[in-house]
Amino acid sequence: MTAPAHHEPMSFWRKYIFSTDHKIIGIQFLFVSLFFLLLGGLLAMQIRWQLGFPGKPLPGGGILPESMVSGGVILPEYYIQLVTMHGTFMVFFAIMPLLVGVYANFLIPLKLGGHDMAFPRINMWSFWLALLAGMIMLSGFFVPDGAPRAGWTMYAPLSARPDLSGATISQKLWSISIVILSLSSVMGSVNYITTVINHRAPGMTWFRMPLSVWALFITAILAVLALPVLQGAAILLLFDQTIGTHFFDPGAGGQALLWQHLFWFFGHPEVYILILPAMGMVSDIIANGSRKPIFGYHSMVFAIIGIAFLGWLVWGHHMFMSGMNPTLGSTFMVSTLLIAVPSAIKVFNWMGTMWRGNLRFHVPMLNAIGFVSMFTIGGLSGIFMAATPVDIPLHDTQFIVAHLHYVLFGGSLFALFAAIPYWFPKMFGRMMSERIGKVHFVLTFIFYNMTFFPMHIIGMGGQMRRIYDPTIYDFLKPQQPLNVFISYSAFALFAVQFLFAFNFLWSLKFGKKAPQNPWEDNGLEWSLPNPAPHGNWAPKTPNVYRGPYEFSSPEAGNKDFLPQTLKLPTDRDPVPVPLPAGGH
């Protein structure tokens, strides 16, 4: 239903709950995934407490049941539930829906001049299935054996055998939840791909699409091809857990490594699902903040495509230590190292965009710069692990934890701290506070580095991932002070996020009313009022005359931006092409 706004008013339920409007669905995803982000953060705090102060009672741990804490002290079985669920929530229910669920939904039609998604009803189902999956996953904490205990990667046979993991019900819930989530993601991604291909405004050619849309489009392609593999794997795992099949049971001819192959064949594209949209949105914001066209637009597009393509050829680097064929390992090493090339292109092009710009440091721009500098560290630390010999001491230690947090927190989350205030006016018609935003950025940037940078060092020292108590190892004892330091920084980092939460919630109601184009951007979405009305431009369609990055163009006159929809005397109207109909 894409009824234009002037049609009969819809009930609250149709309008905000079972909505088919892509913007409302995006906002629904936003609230749900921010909830899961908070939850994942809470779990992380408990992990940090345990690692920093093993054996000390968790403050406030008294409210947790005896099966999780004993005398306030986190139990080992609860600790592995924590690491498992922190990873699962953050990857599948926080970052992925925040980037893809929220911004693919919200931005694709708005930036391309569509009235809605190609399949609005499927879009609604995609959200509700994702929510259902999240609820099933969350319910794992409330079943008798507690949450899943095999790490977010669910390595079989640990995950397949309840007698070995100790969690009977929730392991199955994990599989079911992932099957549903994959279905939801595929539905969403089919929608995004179709919308990008077919529902563009006249004049919005492929190479006039903003990089955010390019990134989201490529991400959707990755998702559509990768998630079904995870779904298949989760189904095999579920059957192993419930009806006694033997896929991952070496005793009956199954293969333990098969799970890892299937999981990482999905998992590595998934890594790019989690970072490409962030890169795309950061590109938009950096061009806006620098008041300059993006440096090397075409190579940015091809870098995205290159990363996505190479992403299919590198999954084995997660399995270097799994006893894989060393020749295969060499192949994976080379393809992994090659990913550094398109990533380097992107970083240097962002810098090229800022070079000789006229930089405006609004909160989105600050966070975008934070993204570039932090993603660089994350990307560079990846090279250590891509070089297989160096990976040997570093694999499955805190070094990898540091690396992935530099990419996912320093990368994806900083991009979100940029994107949320940037498109907040478009969503809610109000601005988020710049002052709180700047304080939040500075403090987050400092505490974030204090938290995650030392993890590289304790990882080099050999601290294994997911261990409950590092102090029982002689070789880890000397670096325990650093663990304490990390924990304090992590608590501060978590506390600072309440600034963001406050800013977000407060601005919903009391933020400054947003002008139509608060960032003086060229994008199509800013030609609409804030918040964008139901049906977007319906029944009209905007005409597009140029690419999205014409900042400081000599044609713009005394302004330094040139909206895509602005018709200059020299511009000709694009010819709309009707959608093909009928059979062929």
Partner 1 sequence: MRWWLPDAGSTFAGPIDALFLAILIITGIALVVVEVGLVTFVIKYRARPGRKAFYTHGSTRAEVIWTAIPAVTMVALGLISNHYWVLIKDKKSIPPNAYHLGVHAKQFEWQVTYPGPDEKLGTSDDFTVRNQLHVIVNQPTAVELTAEDVIHSFFVPEWRLKQDAVPGMHIMAWFQPTKTGEYEIGCAELCGMGHYKMRARVFVHTPEDYKAWIAQQAAGGTE
Partner 2 sequence: MTTPAQPTTTHVRPNYMLIWLYLFVMTIAEVLLAFELPVSRNLKLILLLVMAIWKAMLVALYFMHLKFERWRLRVIFLVPLPLAAILVTAVIMEKVR
Partner 3 sequence: MQTQTTDAMRPPFPAETGAGVYSNKLGMWVFLASDVMFFTALIGSYIVLRFGLSTPWAQPGAVLNVPLTGLNTFLLICSSVSMVKAYAAIADGKKHFLRKVPGKTLQDGGLKFWMLITIICGAGFVGVQMVEYIKLVGHGFTPTGFREGSLLAEHALADPVKYGAGAAGMYGSTFFTMTGFHGFHVTCGVISMLYLYFTKVLPEKYSAQDYRGIEVIGLYWHFVDLVWIILFTIVYLI
Residues near partner 3, by CB under 8 A: 1-4, 7, 114-115, 118-119, 186, 189-191, 193-202, 204-206, 224-229, 231-233, 235-236, 239, 243-247, 249, 252-255, 258, 261-262, 535, 538-541, 576-584
Measured from the CB atom, the residue of 62 and 326 that comes closer to partner 2 is 326
- Measured at the CA of 197, the angle between CA 375 and CA 540, to 5 degrees, comes to 110
Cα separation of 101 and 130, whole Å?
9
Cα separation of 437 and 426, whole Å?
17
Give the one residue of 139, 194, 245, 299 binding partner 1; rule: CB under 8 A.
Answer: 299
| Binder of residue 482, out of partner 3, partner 1, partner 2, none (CB less than 5 to 8 A by kind) | partner 1
| 298 touches partner 2 by CB under 8 A | no
On whether the CB atoms of residues 280 and 212 are closer than 8 A, the answer is yes
Measured from the CB atom, the residue of 24 and 74 that comes closer to partner 1 is 74
Cα separation of 234 and 240, whole Å?
10
| 305 touches partner 2 by CB under 8 A | no
| 229 touches partner 2 by CB under 8 A | yes
Other beta carbons within 10 Å of 60: 10
Closest CA to 504 of 433, 563, 556, 567: 433
Encode 367-387: b = buried (16+ Cβ within 10 Å), e = exposed.
Answer: bbbbbbebbbbbbebbebbbe
On whether the CB atoms of residues 306 and 192 are closer than 8 A, the answer is no
| 449 touches partner 1 by CB under 8 A | no
Measured from the CB atom, the residue of 47 and 221 that comes closer to partner 1 is 47
| 434 touches partner 1 by CB under 8 A | no
**In the complex, minimum distance from the CB of residue 126 to partner 2, in angstroms, rounded to a whole number:** 20
| 63 touches partner 2 by CB under 8 A | no
| 253 touches partner 2 by CB under 8 A | no
Give the one residue of 16, 142, 475, 498 binding partner 1; rule: CB under 8 A.
Answer: 475
| 313 touches partner 2 by CB under 8 A | yes
Other beta carbons within 10 Å of 196: 26
- Stretch touching partner 2 by CB under 8 A, among 61-69, 109-117, 151-159, 575-583: 575-583
**In the complex, minimum distance from the CB of residue 340 to partner 1, in angstroms, rounded to a whole number:** 5
**In the complex, minimum distance from the CB of residue 251 to partner 1, in angstroms, rounded to a whole number:** 8
**In the complex, minimum distance from the CB of residue 481 to partner 1, in angstroms, rounded to a whole number:** 6
Q: What is the DSSP string of 387-431?
A: SHHHHHHHTTBHHHHHHHHHHIIIIIIHHHHHHHHHHHHHHHSBP
Cα separation of 453 and 424, whole Å?
31
Cβ neighbourhood burial of 327 (10 Å; 0-12, 13-18, 19+): exposed
Measured from the CB atom, the residue of 164 and 328 that comes closer to partner 2 is 328
- Stretch touching partner 1 by CB under 8 A, among 34-42, 156-164, 211-219, 520-528: 156-164
* Tokens 């995934």 -> residue: 33
Within 314-353, the residues that bind partner 1 by CB under 8 A are 321-323, 326, 329-330, 333-334, 337-338, 340-341, 344-345, 347-349, 351-352
Q: Is 453 helix (H, G, I), strand (E, B) or coil?
A: helix
Closest CA to 114 of 24, 211, 10, 204: 204
Cα separation of 220 and 277, whole Å?
10
Give the one residue of 16, 31, 206, 361 binding partner 1; rule: CB under 8 A.
Answer: 361
Cα separation of 191 and 120, whole Å?
8
**In the complex, minimum distance from the CB of residue 130 to partner 3, in angstroms, rounded to a whole number:** 16
- Stretch touching partner 2 by CB under 8 A, among 89-97, 207-215, 489-497, 572-580: 572-580
In the 8-state DSSP scheme, what is residue 513?
Answer: B
- Lay out the site mask for partner 1 across 160-199 (x = CB under 8 A, - = otherwise): -x--xxx---------------------------------
| 462 touches partner 1 by CB under 8 A | yes
| Binder of residue 4, out of partner 1, partner 2, partner 3, none (CB less than 5 to 8 A by kind) | partner 3
